[in-house]
């Protein structure tokens, strides 16, 4: 089973288990510290799993591999630290600083990996994507500086950079539809796949994300784990 599918099934299991815990707490009429710790752990696992999944997807597609590796490592390390804090309740201020920094850079890498996975246009890769990553990492540096210095004077810069990073990630899939890239990646606009009973089968680049097959005037989508097989009627 692909690792990505395992993560998706794991996320579905976590959400279902969290819902079950919440329902039991409501039925029993009490919501104690144990239930709070369980839900907090599940939420942490969901965030860490999302970051790790994005990193693994980058590694599978062979794009932004450093971000992918760092995302997986930091997500795993962060989950272990946060789970330890949730259940053992450490009072050390230094430990809390470490938790905050790990969370900050995990989210910054998540922006970098998810934005890269959505970006397929060379124009956006040269413009919007670097700007989005720079804003996300700049926000991470701003938080790191404030935590190390124990000074919150840079919160305005941090807020601006977060807004810019969020804007870049939101605009990426929107602009992706308007940027025409017929030769994305340096390949031809059309690639002959074969012929069948006089019909020519070609792969056409259209700059849009997702897997599609066009049959006449109909356009159908299919999953990454599916293969289109053409057979004689």
Query: What is the reported pLDDT for 183?
Result: 45
User: pLDDT value at position 223?
Assistant: 73
In the beta sheet, which residues pair with residue 200? 195
- Name 214's bridge partners: 219
182 Cβ neighbours under 8 A, 6+ residues apart: 189, 205, 206, 207
Q: What is the DSSP letter of 186?
A: G
The Cα–Cα gap between 66 and 208 comes to 25
Give whole-number Cα distances, 124 to 15, 115, 139, 184, 206, in Å: 34, 10, 21, 11, 15
C-alpha span between 191 and 55 (Å, rounded): 30
Q: Which of 118-127, 145-154, 183-192, 209-218 has the lowest mean pLDDT?
A: 183-192
Residue closest to 48 by CA, chosen among 68, 72, 70: 72
**Crossing angle of the two packed helices 93-118 and 33-61, in degrees rounded to 10:** 40
pLDDT-derived band at 157 (thresholds 50, 70, 90) equals very high
Sign of CA dihedral 201, 174, 118, 185: positive
Provide, rounded to the nearest whole percent, the portion of the chain with pLDDT above 70. 74
CA 76 to mean position of chain CA atoms: 15
More confident residue, 101 or 187: 101
Residues 120, 181 contacting (CB under 8 angstroms) = yes
Among the listed ranges 78-82, 127-131, 203-207, which one has the minimum average pLDDT value? 203-207
- pLDDT by residue (tens digit) across 46-66? 888 888 888 888 888 888 889
């Amino acid at each position: 089973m692909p690792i990505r599918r395992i993560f998706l099934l794991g996320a579905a299991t976590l959400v279902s288990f969290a819902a079950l815990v919440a329902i039991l707490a409501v039925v029993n009429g009490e919501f104690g510290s144990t239930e709070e710790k369980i839900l907090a752990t599940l939420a942490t696992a969901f965030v860490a799993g999302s970051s790790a999944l994005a990193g693994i997807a980058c590694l599978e597609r062979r794009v932004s591999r450093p971000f992918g590796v760092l995302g997986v490592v930091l997500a795993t390390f962060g989950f272990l630290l946060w789970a330890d804090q949730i259940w053992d309740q450490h009072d050390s201020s230094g430990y809390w600083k470490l938790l905050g920094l790990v969370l900050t850079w995990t989210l910054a890498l998540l922006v970098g990996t998810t934005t890269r996975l959505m970006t397929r246009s060379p124009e956006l890769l040269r413009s919007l994507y670097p700007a989005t990553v720079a804003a996300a990492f700049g926000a991470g540096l701003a938080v790191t500086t404030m935590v190390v210095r124990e000074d919150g004077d840079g919160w305005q810069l941090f807020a601006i950079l977060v807004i810019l990073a969020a804007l870049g990630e939101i605009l990426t899939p929107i602009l992706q539809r308007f940027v025409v890239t017929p030769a994305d990646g340096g390949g031809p606009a059309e690639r002959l796949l074969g012929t069948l009973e006089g019909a020519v089968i070609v792969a056409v680049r259209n700059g849009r994300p997702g897997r599609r097959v066009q049959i006449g005037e109909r356009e159908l989508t299919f999953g990454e784990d599916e293969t289109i097989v053409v057979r004689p009627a």
